[in-house]
Structure 1
Amino acid sequence: MDDLSPSDLKTILHSKRANIFYLEYCRVMQKDGRVLYLTEAFSNKRQENLYYNIPIANTTVILLGNGTSITQAAMRMLSQAGVLVGFCGGGGTPLYMANNVEHAIEWMTPQSEYRPTEYLQGWLSFWFDEDKRLNAGKQIQTARIEFLQRVWQKDKDLKQNGFNVNDNTIQNALATFTQRNSQASKKSELLLTEAQLTKALYKFAANNTKHDNFTRQHQGSTKKHTDKANDFLNHGNYLAYGLAACTLWVLGIPHGFAVMHGKTRRGALVFDIADLIKDALVLPWAFICAMENATEQEFRQQILQAFTDHKALDYMFDTVKQIALEQHDD
């Protein structure tokens, strides 16, 4: 049988793709028209090479962790299939790319410009107007809360672990946020309101999972102090950033046209879009998995399953498209 190329494969919409891969201690390569990763194993004191296929047509993001390498031929096929690639540290964090900006997100995106123009044009039609940009930020924050309410209302596993949207603490926090969000007159007020809500959600989650004296550490754990909740939050957030970057790349909107995070911050719009799902999914599962002393792999499997169950990528696409196309009129 002749080798297949990515262009021969049936196209799967990015919002419907099922796979996000985190790989470590392996070599990613192209072989016989497929993208594989090679690992080494020892059997009967003999070294064996094990090859595993990566279904690139059904993959959105690949994170390459410790001890990984990738060939030029594999990158070419991944690019043709529209797969985003990022290099990261062990366990998925931190994300390393071609810059040294703290917390910056820069993904290696396929260099195809044959993407829709309507969403970029719609985004730019309001982006240069400060008031309209503020309104877009408010829309993202409103959509963020709507997603949290939807997920926590229907997810039985979250409810069993105490994450119930009808809890008085959550209701009060969301009501305060909604009021302040609608009244915000500038971006700094919007960011302050967002920070206050996130702090309240952290406190609720920490109390709910008996995680005493929790303090958010974006750099993760140190060798002297291991805090799985922080590690899982960082890990899950980077997965959310991958979905956000995929959404923006497919829709043809550059990462620099942020509506909340800083104008000069690299990948700022990725952070804005990732906010849509982080509180609803990453936050509760990070604390639950930490309480259960889960491994990095177990947490990753859980959070990716949650992304799939609640159609997180679909929600990102729908929200960005709605904002881009609704902002044409004054």
Structure 2
Amino acid sequence: MDYLTDLKAILHSKRANIYYLEKCRVMQKDGRVLYLTEEKVEKQYWNIPIANTTCILLGTGTSITQAAVRMLASAGVLIGFSGSGGTPLLAANEVEWLSPQSEYRPTEYIQGWMQFWFDDHKRFLAGQAIQRLRIQYMQRVWTSDRDLRGEGFNADDEDIRHALQRFNQRIDESKNITELLLTEAKLTKALYKIAANRTKQTDFVRQHDSVDDANAFLNHGNYLAYGLAATTLWVLGIPHGFAVLHGKTRRGALVFDVADLIKDTLILPWAFICAKEGATEQEFRQQCLQNFTSHKALDFMFDSVKQLSKGDF
């Protein structure tokens, strides 16, 4: 049965929903994908609008039926298994994605990507382009977002402006991928310091296995960004192993490259803001998803990857 015949197609870049589910069972029932929760009194079914969903993260205590996977695949929804809160229990930098199988994805983008990827210099130029796009997006969002400006994250502030200008200069001065990655790490470290000062968390140290709220929110939000990146690449038909920055030896490294386009802009400041306000994990997640929608994160990722695949560095 072709489930797509009953679905109204929505472009992946325009889809609104990312689901994180735990302690439930995902199943197909009456032509729909539902998740079942066990309440004290009765079982409750909740519908998942798959035609408007980009990816589903299954946390602890979840199960999924074969029929549900088949229907999700037909709608082009990515499925991921993760630990509690969207963060893996064992591996800090990997999510195991189950990609829907489709032979009707476009070929032009992977063909364009391959035209430059085997050339070390062109791959380096693509890495520089990703970093420039990342800064342009941050400047645009941090200038226009009223809530962020109210919390002190304004791209026109002197310390932020100088940090971004210095980063742009170092991008141009970088001679290879190693130098570019080092420059990127210095920018992120500078942004952590700025965010910690803005939210009066001056003792912050970035540690992936730390239990403080800011670190936990950064981990959680980054995995949401990885979900968007994986969706973008799958829809455009570009395998995750063809990275330009994070190394050719890491199988999913291109996911991290594409996620970098939005991570520091949309995840980093709100991780610190929500930690300061004592927000719950769910409240932080809702804030991230709202940011993705209001600032058209998927649109930006799609446009950026398409631009790179055309060799427009």
Deviations 1:102-149 (A, max 9, x none): 513441110112110000000000000000000000000000000000
> Number of residues paired by the alignment?
313
Offset at residue 77 of structure 1 (A): 0.3
The one of 256, 259, 266 equivalent to 2:244 is 259
Question: After the TM superposition, which residues 83-162 of structure 1 pair with which residues of structure 2 at under 5 Å, given as runs?
Answer: 83-94=77-88, 103-162=93-152
Counterpart residue number, 2:292: 307
Aligned-residue identity in percent: 69
Give the Cα separation in 2 of the matches to 1:236 and 1:106.
17
Q: 2:301 is matched with which residue?
A: 316
- Between 1:163-172 and 1:11-20, the stretch displaced more is 163-172
**Alpha-carbon deviations, 1:169-209, whole Å to 9, x = none?**
11111111001101111000000000000000000000100
**TM-score under structure 2 length normalisation:** 0.97
1:296 to 281, 293, 296: 281
Contact 2:92 2:208 in 1 (8 A): no
Superposed, 1:211-222 pairs within 5 Å as: 211-221=201-211
Residue 171 of structure 1: SS of its match in structure 2? helix
CA distance in 2, matches of 1:15, 1:142: 21
Asked if structure 2 preserves the Cα contact closer than 8 Å seen for 1:206 and 1:214, the reply is yes
Please give the alpha-carbon distance, in whole angstroms, between the structure 1 residues aligned to 2:84 and 2:195: 25
Tell me the CA shift for residue 155 of structure 1: 0.2
Amino acid at match of 2:280: T
Task: Please give the alpha-carbon distance, in whole angstroms, between the structure 1 residues aligned to 2:24 and 2:300.
Answer: 33
Structure 1 unmatched runs, 5+: 222-226
Report the secondary structure of 1:308's partner residue: helix
**Quick one: distance in 1 between partners of 2:81 and 2:229?**
16
Q: Is residue 2:274 matched to residue 1:280?
A: no
Deviation, structure 1 residue 89: 1.2
Q: C-alpha separation between the residues in 1 aligned to 2:110 and 2:251?
A: 18
Q: Deviations over 1:47-74 (max 9, x none)?
A: 3010000000000010111111100000
> Do the aligned partners of 2:24 and 2:62 also contact (CA within 8 Å) in 1?
yes
Q: Is residue 50 of structure 1 aligned with residue 44 of structure 2?
A: yes
SS of 1:61 mapped into structure 2: strand
> Which one of the candidate residues 32, 37, 47 is aligned to 2:35?
37
Which residue identity lines up with residue 24 of structure 1 in the other structure?
A: E
Decide whether the 8 Å contact of 1:7 with 1:80 is kept in 2.
no
- Partner in structure 1 of residue 225 of structure 2: 240
TM-score by length of 1: 0.92
What is the CA distance between 1:281 and its match in structure 2?
A: 0.5
Equivalent residue, structure 2, for 1:224 = none
Tell me if structure 1 keeps the 8 A contact 2:82–2:96: no
1:4 CA displacement: 8.8
CA shift, 1:37, in A, is 0.2
- Structure 2 distance, partners of 1:63, 1:101, is 15
Query: Following the alignment from structure 1 to structure 2, what is the Cα–Cα distance between the partners of residues 33 and 103?
Result: 35
The amino acid that maps onto 1:19 is N
Residue of structure 1 in register with 2:153 after alignment: 163
Identify unmatched segments of 5+ residues in structure 2.
none
Shift of 1:327: 5.1
CA distance in 1, matches of 2:48, 2:210: 29
Alpha-carbon RMSD across the aligned residues, in angstroms, is 1.5
Structure 2 counterpart of 1:114, which letter? Y
Q: Is the 8 A contact 1:105 1:270 kept in 2?
A: no
